[in-house]
Structure 1
Amino acid sequence: MTVATTKAVTPPEVAKEILTPKSPERILIIGGGYAGFYTAWKLEKLLKRGEAEVTLVDPLPYMTYQPFLPEVAAGSIEPRHVVVSHRQHLKKTNLISGKLTKVNHKTKKANIAIEGGKPITLEYDQIVMTAGAVTRTFPIKGIAENAIGMKTVEEAVEVRNRMVGNFERAAALPAGSKLRQRLLTFVVVGGGFAGIETFAELRSAATHLLRYYPQIDFDEIQFHLIEAMGRIMPEVSLETSLWVIDNLASRAATIHLNTQLESAEGGLIKLSSGESFESDLIIWTAGVAAAPVAKNCTFPLDTRMRITANAKLQIVEGEKAIPGSWTAGDVSAVPDLSGGGVGGYCVPNAQHAVRQAKLLAKNIVATIRGEEPKQYLHKNLGAVAGLGIGYGAFQSGKIAFTGFIAWVMHRGYHGLAMPTWERKIRVVSGWLWNTLLGRDLVSLELVRNPRLFFSTWAARPGK
């Protein structure tokens, strides 16, 4: 007896799919700050070999751990130790040093400007917008010309150099002279965490400097913080914020509440209270704004020029997610499902940026594998501020600590939060050495013009 057999026939389109391996998903990350760096770092751990190709574009080759910038300005941390090298720690990511000039998500192409070279066009399947934020300023006379921010490590280094350099110049001038008074007057604008930490750390550093400048009296050094609102540090309780004000007042640092800066032309500070004085170092910390690069995209923006997103960190138009597009960090408007945000959205801080990035990486991988992405939900862990050696403030819910214990908590938290063990070790070991040897407060002002010495003495043709 003959038994008939049937042979399964594979449809041509299915056979072609089986024979042709799927191309790796092309993931393009714009911005290498907190959100961009952590997204790439997490993707490297989650992706399987050949599953995707990750490219990160940023004009800088490093991520800056911004909570440490006040300590860099105060000489408590070495500047290089607060930045994390992209190339040293992103071993599987393609790194491009350039600036985004345009994104057309319909064609899935991004134009990148390369300094000193021809622009390039990158094609992608998934794009991650994590361009971060810039310092937000207002059209006040003299600010653009005379002030400096506290958003980059370069700014923090310049603040340190300027402050120490001012001490050096003031020590050679007659006591009571107008220029000497100007050199020893320091102004910070903005009473948020960045402003208060910068203000307090510099006050602490200035007190430390006095031991090396016997020509300068403590009373000659003037510190002024200008805050337009009626209180400082809205992230902490009123009681904690008042303790900070009293503590700084005891250290001869003046905080001007309910006061606006009207002008800083020529270094002459004019306040809405009618007070005026001159300063050679004006530091602006009054808020941040989404990076302007967001305007170069075809993605929807809210009234504050942030890229609109849903809780899954997908870029949305209205309620509809735009396939293949993601965002996180300061450039994005991500709903805060914990109810603790401002206006219903996550506030622009490191806590959110880092945690959003880690989830974003998981959501991208889930999407590639045909799984459902998850929503971002994070309840604020609290706030901790360093206010100079031995002083700090901590707030988590109704629990608050101030003084030395809060300072230890500040260093403990940020020491652990600093990405990579290599950087943690460098920062913590620097603190230990400073305990034994004191702060490193050498001024290297001429680094602004490194060719000055050479060009001054270089031989020239015909001379």
Structure 2
Amino acid sequence: MPKILIVGGGYAGFYTAKKLEKWLGRNEAQVTMVDPLPYLTYQPFLPEVAAGSIEPRHAVVSHRRHLKRTRVINARVTYVNHAEKTATITPELGEPWQETYDIVVMTAGAVSRTFPIPGVADNAIGLKNIEEAIAVRDRIIKNFELAANLPEGSEEKKRLLTFVVVGGGFAGIEAFAEMRSLASSLVRQFPTISFEETHFHLIEAMGRIMPEVSLETSKWVIKSLDQRGATIHLDTQLSSAVDGRIELSTGESFEADTIVWTAGVMANPMIRNTDLPIEERGRLRANAALQIVNDEGPVADAWTAGDVAAVPDLTGAGVGGFCVPNAQHAVRQAKLLAKNITASLRGEDPKEYFHKSLGAVAGLGLYNGVYQWRKIAIKGFVAWIMHRGYHGLAIPMWERKIRVFGNWIMNFLLRRDTVQLSTRIAPRAAFEEFASRPKA
């Protein structure tokens, strides 16, 4: 049987494997998927995980539970030699080995893109994976617990209750709004902390936020956040974050204990460890049929999809002529990719990817959202319902959809859970403190 190797288990990798199981017969091909993590992270839910609105485990989808006929390997692909059709698999424990294949599918996804700003690498945290979202949630709640015991007006209290998000795209605005929503609910639980003592700053280098929506809609979002006590700095760059001291290009500076970085993504750097063609932005070169291409045309038996691929947007709406890196494209590309691989194995021609955007929808904290499709804009509670409805149904697998909707129903009835578990980082600390040791 032909061996199909899928590199990466995010949206594109998971859906490609899932649909190959559907379209291919049991004896048509052997599918292997390699990813360091045992699950897919549904990234649109990360802001709600950070706000305590969704149980973290319910925002991820197990590979092994839902891929019944795919061989799943939890390890890193550290090199792909397509000329010889081998991949180097490096597990966390054990020796690396060479995996042979007949067809390779590159779906390694994207990672946070940062700039060499002093202090960012040491003090900031991204919001690309579930662990980061949990850490942001625990940090906010822990900071409230610490600040509650400090005198009003103290510098340390102000620092603990100052939160910064860098990046005003959809991911940044959703994270910013959800964090503000969580903090507003926490104020009611801490009598020694007033709403005015909490400070939220969003830093955006451009002159507007959320370029996916109209300028009028983006201004409405800014006004909504401003009414909720949040500050948005437009046309402003972060100059330094050394030791948590925020210095802006405008000359303003202040102390902050929590810095969340959402200012863009880039293709997973692992694709540089391949002999496959890469374009100037570091993505794999691809055609609309999702084949990896070089100057001569399609590279035989090499396919790609998702954030790691520079796929032409045939609708003409893409940035620079390419599909933007989002879940809408990754999921739909993966489904077509599985069909195209199946067609190629059966001697048929692949089809080209064409998808018109369904619009953009964002949650802005409890009971507030925004939706934009062309010139149509819906704001407030209705858009929030649309946001939850769309993403609640979009997360893969019905067992996950049911868990997520269950979270929302329970939170509506009982309010969100605001218990932080930051001690999980050092789970043996309490045991070690009181454990008896042999006498010297």
TM norm. shorter chain > 0.5 = yes
Q: CA deviation at 1:460?
A: 2.1
**Partners of 2:83 and 2:237 in 1: CA distance:** 45
**Partners of 2:55 and 2:173 in 1: CA distance:** 21
Residue in 1 that maps onto 2:143: 166
**Partners of 2:281 and 2:77 in 1: CA distance:** 20
- Deviation per CA, 1:163-196: give whole Å up to 9, x if none: 0000000000011000000000000000000000
Q: Is 1:424 aligned to 2:401, yes or no?
A: yes
**Partners of 1:433 and 1:261 in 2: CA distance:** 39
SS of 2:317's equivalent in the other structure is: coil
Q: 2:259 aligns with which of 279, 282, 292?
A: 282
- Deviation per CA, 1:26-56: give whole Å up to 9, x if none: 1000000000000001101111121000000
Residue in 2 that maps onto 1:100: 77
Q: 1:237 aligns with which of 199, 205, 214?
A: 214
Q: CA deviation at 1:459?
A: 2.1
Residue in 2 that maps onto 1:19: none
Q: Is 1:220 aligned to 2:197, yes or no?
A: yes
**Partners of 2:380 and 2:162 in 1: CA distance:** 26
Counterpart amino acid of residue 212 in structure 2: E
Q: Is 1:208 aligned to 2:173, yes or no?
A: no
**Partners of 1:75 and 1:37 in 2: CA distance:** 26
SS of 2:232's equivalent in the other structure is: strand
SS of 1:375's equivalent in the other structure is: coil
SS of 2:323's equivalent in the other structure is: coil
Residue in 2 that maps onto 1:252: 229
Q: 1:357 aligns with which of 334, 339, 342?
A: 334
Q: Is 1:314 aligned to 2:307, yes or no?
A: no
Q: CA deviation at 1:452?
A: 1.1
Residue in 2 that maps onto 1:396: 373
Counterpart amino acid of residue 232 in structure 2: I
Q: TM-score, normalised by structure 1?
A: 0.94
Q: CA deviation at 1:114?
A: 1.0
SS of 1:44's equivalent in the other structure is: helix
Structure number with larger C-alpha Rg: 1
Q: List gaps (5 residues or longer) in structure 2.
A: none
SS of 1:212's equivalent in the other structure is: coil
Counterpart amino acid of residue 437 in structure 1: L
**Partners of 2:133 and 2:26 in 1: CA distance:** 40
Counterpart amino acid of residue 331 in structure 1: V
Comparing 448-457 with 398-407, which one deviates more in the overlay?
448-457
Cα RMSD of the aligned pairs, angstroms, is 0.7
Residue in 2 that maps onto 1:121: 98
Q: Is 1:64 aligned to 2:41, yes or no?
A: yes
Q: CA deviation at 1:319?
A: 4.9
Residue in 2 that maps onto 1:301: 278
Q: 2:153 aligns with which of 176, 179, 194?
A: 176
Q: CA deviation at 1:457?
A: 1.9
SS of 2:188's equivalent in the other structure is: helix
Q: Is 1:48 aligned to 2:25, yes or no?
A: yes
SS of 2:337's equivalent in the other structure is: helix
**Partners of 2:295 and 2:207 in 1: CA distance:** 36
Q: Is 1:339 aligned to 2:316, yes or no?
A: yes
Residue in 2 that maps onto 1:16: none
SS of 1:84's equivalent in the other structure is: strand
**Partners of 1:204 and 1:159 in 2: CA distance:** 13
Counterpart amino acid of residue 239 in structure 1: E
**Partners of 1:49 and 1:443 in 2: CA distance:** 46
Residue in 2 that maps onto 1:20: none
SS of 1:316's equivalent in the other structure is: strand
Q: Is 1:82 aligned to 2:59, yes or no?
A: yes
Residue in 1 that maps onto 2:429: 452
**Partners of 2:333 and 2:225 in 1: CA distance:** 35
- Deviation per CA, 1:141-178: give whole Å up to 9, x if none: 00000000000000000000000000000000011000
Residue in 1 that maps onto 2:268: 291
- Deviation per CA, 1:415-442: give whole Å up to 9, x if none: 1111100000000011000000001111
Aligned length: 440
Residue in 1 that maps onto 2:352: 375
SS of 1:207's equivalent in the other structure is: helix
Residue in 2 that maps onto 1:12: none
Q: Is 1:443 aligned to 2:420, yes or no?
A: yes
**Partners of 1:444 and 1:289 in 2: CA distance:** 31
**Partners of 1:178 and 1:160 in 2: CA distance:** 22
SS of 1:394's equivalent in the other structure is: strand
